[in-house]
């Protein structure tokens, strides 16, 4: 039986993080199954089975200065409910380093990806959301869109005040494949390139 709350040990780990690098490492450990719970997600549950093949890219992003918060693969299939489901490959990340954000946005747009930028800060950029999942052709879920105080509290309830403030000054970037279905899985190869060390002459 899974208890419906985060363990004290996990809560201590998240609340003790002081830097974005430490936050990224904890998120990577959760993705790898080393931590049972993460903020803003159902306690004592790991990533969804459909995202298992994305874990290497997601953990590499988390350890490269990007903190992933949500992702899904590109799929097109009949669901258990009898409806036809189509998904665009997509990921949402929190980025606090302006240089990393520019690199991400430029690489994604150059590859033809859809990019949405949203700031929690008042007066920050607030791009419109993009539909990422449909059921029988009807919109079901979206990535991107305005971020408010309630969203931040739900996403990061276990963080200490200083790190929470640092994350709140960051930017949420959603990167979405334009294609529905497996063709959009090319997104992960593009993102993997961001985790490689820049080449020097």
pLDDT at 149: 85
Q: Which residues contact 81 (CB under 8 A, 6 or more apart)?
A: none
Domain positions in the chain: 8-193
Instruction: State yes or no: pLDDT of 74 exceeds 60.
Output: yes
Could you tell me if 118 and 172 are in contact, meaning their C-beta atoms sit under 8 angstroms apart? yes
Instruction: State yes or no: pLDDT of 87 exceeds 90.
Output: yes
pLDDT at 201: 43
pLDDT tens column, 90-111: 999 999 999 999 999 999 999 9
Instruction: State yes or no: pLDDT of 10 exceeds 50.
Output: yes
The DSSP bridge partners found for residue 90 are: 72, 176
Structure tokens at 122: 């008042």
pLDDT at 200: 45
Could you tell me if 93 and 57 are in contact, meaning their C-beta atoms sit under 8 angstroms apart? no
Could you tell me if 64 and 145 are in contact, meaning their C-beta atoms sit under 8 angstroms apart? no
User: Which of 189, 59, 195, 58 has its CA nearest to residue 112?
Assistant: 189
Please tell me the least confidently modeled range out of 77-81, 129-133, 148-152, 162-166.
Answer: 148-152
pLDDT at 1: 54
pLDDT at 118: 95
**Interval 7-34 mean pLDDT:** 96
Instruction: State yes or no: pLDDT of 163 exceeds 80.
Output: yes
- Our CA angle for 195, 71, 95, nearest 5°, is 50
């Amino acid at each position: 039986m899974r208890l419906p709350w985060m363990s004290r040990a996990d809560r201590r780990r998240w609340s003790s993080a002081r830097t974005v690098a430490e936050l990224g490492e904890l998120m990577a450990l959760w993705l790898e199954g080393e931590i049972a719970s993460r903020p803003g997600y159902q306690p004592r549950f790991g990533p969804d089975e459909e995202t298992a093949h994305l874990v290497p890219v997601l953990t590499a992003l988390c350890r490269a200065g990007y903190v992933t918060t949500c992702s899904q693969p590109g799929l097109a299939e009949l669901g258990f409910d009898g409806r036809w489901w189509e998904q665009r490959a997509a990921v949402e990340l929190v980025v606090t380093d302006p240089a990393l954000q520019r690199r991400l946005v430029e690489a994604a747009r150059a590859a033809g990806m859809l990019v949405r930028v949203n700031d929690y800060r008042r007066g920050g950029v607030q791009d419109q959301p993009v539909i990422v999942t449909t059921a029988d052709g009807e919109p079901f879920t979206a990535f991107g869109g305005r971020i408010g105080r309630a969203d931040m509290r739900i996403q990061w309830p276990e963080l200490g005040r200083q790190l929470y403030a640092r994350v709140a000054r960051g930017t949420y970037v959603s990167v979405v494949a334009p294609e529905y279905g497996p063709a959009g899985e090319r997104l992960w190869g593009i993102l993997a390139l961001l985790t490689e060390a820049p080449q020097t002459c």
